[in-house]
Chain A
């Protein structure tokens, strides 16, 4: 399982990239995509939708199940990765490039872990 040092992580297996302008990019971790299996559909909100930290903002369907995806931060959706509609497998192939949404007006967040903390959290669960 891979992690990147420059990202933060949630216990529900999303990654967060914090930008200098205060916006954040959200995706699913390598661990999440391995657990989910081959993805067949990604259901995302629209730009302008409000999202709440700790609440689902979309779902991903794999050959195993539909799983809700939780938002690490509260704010407004600035952009969604439309490419995933046609190519959900990008999340399996390159989880740290295949971002789901970008959030602006960020007003709060879930507990965020460093790469080392997230790895320890995964190790603990297994």
Chain B
């Protein structure tokens, strides 16, 4: 039974630091306790643990605009975060972990703010029939977390810009995102602020768990441990290099003829490359395929590899085309 409730409000907006802190809180929350962790990411796409980032997110576009892509430990689909979004995490031992009770805290907070919302399906929250909160879950033995987004005033144009990947030339194992009709809470209550929502969540936690919530002491955080986790979350190995096999192909007709690329990739790298073209000699085609072998997947990395070869119009054109794809 939960007899201690705590809240921890993160100060910075770095997604890797935020996820690192979340993991550390999960590992340190005592039994019979609940920590409510509140945090925000700046300009970030967060994908589920078992998602293909190139399939779910316009990675290069996001990077060009100064955004970040982070992979979380929980499952489910891709979400876009900016400072108009507030994230919550409930960190609880398994014995006291009840998704419906945790969702009651969110619904109670909205009720305190005068917004009516309801549970829908397994783990969605809807207001006005539209989704304002996506929830996801992670279990490591007896330690669990339940986290989710709360869209207060997210830039929905950006959301569409990074999450809707059109090129279906990429086929991947892993978990696909599901699109939903979304709503910002400020559409329902225009004066709502993130600060008000934070306070309402803490108040609601006290009401639902019937215990006074205290701040989780800063000195409980092991700064070195959090830093080690931060580096892990920020690493290409974790973000891009997960063992999720995928294939990608492109066909394009240039002035000099057509070229077709077929790639098998895993752990973020090209494992097998096949190139077909009726307009180039077999030796050059073979060389190009060899050159791409082992290359990191993505427009820039692939173009850079090819540019290391002898200067030929065909190669220059192909590189330009790859860069235009902006993957």
Contacts and interface: CB of A to CB of B under 8 A. Distances in A.
A99 interface: no
B174 A41 contact: yes
Contacts of A64: 122-123, 137
A68 B50 CA distance: 12
A66 B73 contact: yes
A86 B173 contact: yes
Given A85-B173, A86-B173, A65 B74 contact: yes
A63 to B, nearest CB: 7
Interface string A42-77: 011010000000001001011111111010000000
B320 to A, nearest CB: 35
A6 B74 CA distance: 34
A79 B307 CA distance: 39
Nearest to B95: A125
Contacts of B49: 43, 59, 61, 66
B122 A63 contact: yes
A25 B243 CA distance: 21
Query: Which of A44, A61, A70: most chain B CB closer than 10 A?
Result: A61
B139 to A, nearest CB: 4
A66 B243 contact: no
A12 B142 CA distance: 9
B327 to A, nearest CB: 23
A86 B243 CA distance: 13
Contact of A66 (B75, B173, B245): B75
Given A41-B50, A41-B174, A65 B141 contact: no
Nearest to A80: B243
Contacts of A43: 49-50, 242-243
Contact of A67 (B122, B136, B139): B139
Interface string A9-45: 0001000000000000000000000000000110110
A61 B141 contact: no
Contacts of A56: 140
A16 B73 CA distance: 26
A59 B96 CA distance: 22
Nearest to B138: A66
B315 interface: no
B170 interface: no
A116 B136 CA distance: 35
Contacts of B243: 43-44, 46
B175 interface: yes
Given A40-B175, A43-B50, A46-B243, A66 B74 contact: yes
Nearest to A82: B245
Contact of A68 (B48, B123, B139): B139
Contact of B138 (A40, A44, A65, A86): A65
A67 B173 CA distance: 18
Nearest to A44: B243
Contacts of B73: 66
Nearest to A40: B175
Interface in B231-248: 242-243, 245
Given A61-B50, A61-B175, A68 B140 contact: yes
Contacts of A66: 48-50, 73-75, 136-139
Interface string B206-236: 0000000000000000000000000000000
A61 B140 contact: no
Query: Which of B49, B50, B123, B245: most chain A CB closer than 10 A?
Result: B50
Interface in B65-83: 73-75
Contact of A65 (B137, B173, B175): B137
B141 A68 contact: yes
Interface in B157-209: 173-175
Interface of B: 48-50, 73-75, 122-123, 136-141, 144, 173-175, 242-243, 245
7 contacts: A43-B50, A44-B243, A46-B243, A65-B138, A66-B139, A67-B140, A85-B245
